[in-house]
Each structure stands twice: as C-alpha cells, then as structure tokens.
Amino acid sequence: MTYENDNIFAKILRGEIPSHKLYEDADTFAFMDIMPRGDGHCLVIPKKPARNILDVEVDSLAAVARTTQKLARAVLRAFSADGVTVQQFNEPAGGQVVFHLHFHIIPRFEGVPLRPHTGDMEKPEILAANAEKIRAALEAV
C-alpha cells in the first residue's frame, strides 16, 4: 500500500487537472466533487502525499481535520442545510477509490437521501454556482 503520485487528486494539486477550488492554505486544499451525491458536495485533501488515514502524518491529518470543520460549517450556511455528512474511506475494502487521503463533506436535508454514486459528472456551471455559494459562506464563517 504505497502512495501513487499519478492519482487524480495529486494531479489537481499540481494544476494538471482543473478543479472548482473552494479553499486553500499551506497544508490543505478543498474543492468541489465533480460527481456529487448532493448539492454542495465537496472534498478536503492534504497537500502532503498520503494514501489514506492509515499512513498520513499526524500534523497533516490535524490540518485536514481543521479544514474539514471549516468547510462543514460553510456548506451548512451556504445551502441552509439541516446537517452535514462527513465521509472518509480507506483502502478498496473500505470503499476508497482515489488513493489520496480525502474527506467528503455533503450538506444534508431532512427526508432527502444521498444520490447514488453513479459516476455521472455534474454540469460545470452548477459546480461553479455551488462553489461560489460555499466561498461566500467561508468568508462569513
């Protein structure tokens, strides 16, 4: 179980693949999930290479946790959500598909189930609009 430098999130960090950036600091990067399971679904990743929670450096994990909390508060505000789901998967048996540590943050609403993970990509204009809402809420958090 080693980190692979060619995973999609590493490519996003290097600027090789575009993303709808929400937040960035010295240690973390947050952006929209292009296959959202709900409006406002976003991701937080560490900048340091880490396959998952099993091999991440403690300081890097702490930074990701801080940014995840910041984004969770912002998506609640941005979408007037009733709650938030934070998910994190490790290794194939644990549901991990992209092997760069990441946390999913999904605003939730009473009585509204998560959309299934079908592999369908959201329209770029919807991702851009949702990203703008979250960035505006981040300024207020």
- Could you tell me the strand order of the sheet in which 83-87 lies? 21-24, 28-32, 42-46, 103-108, 83-87
**Catalytic annotation present for 102:** yes
Domain boundaries, the chain: 8-111+120-140
CA gap 77, 71 in Å, rounded: 10
Q: Take residue 100 and report the two structure tokens written for it.
A: 């760069």
Catalytic-labelled residue, pool 100, 102, 104, 117: 102
pLDDT (mean) for 45-62: 98
DSSP annotation of 102 reads: -
Q: Take residue 140 and report the two structure tokens written for it.
A: 């207020």
Mean pLDDT, all residues of the chain: 97
Provide the whole-model pTM: 0.96
74-123 pLDDT tens trace = 999 999 999 999 999 999 999 999 999 999 999 999 999 999 988 899 99
Q: Domain 8-111+120-140: which topology? A: HIT family, subunit A (3.30.428)
Percentage of the residues of the chain whose pLDDT score is greater than 90? 96
CA gap 8, 4 in Å, rounded: 10
- pLDDT at residue 28 tops 80: yes
pLDDT (mean) for 14-26: 98
pLDDT (mean) for 42-49: 98
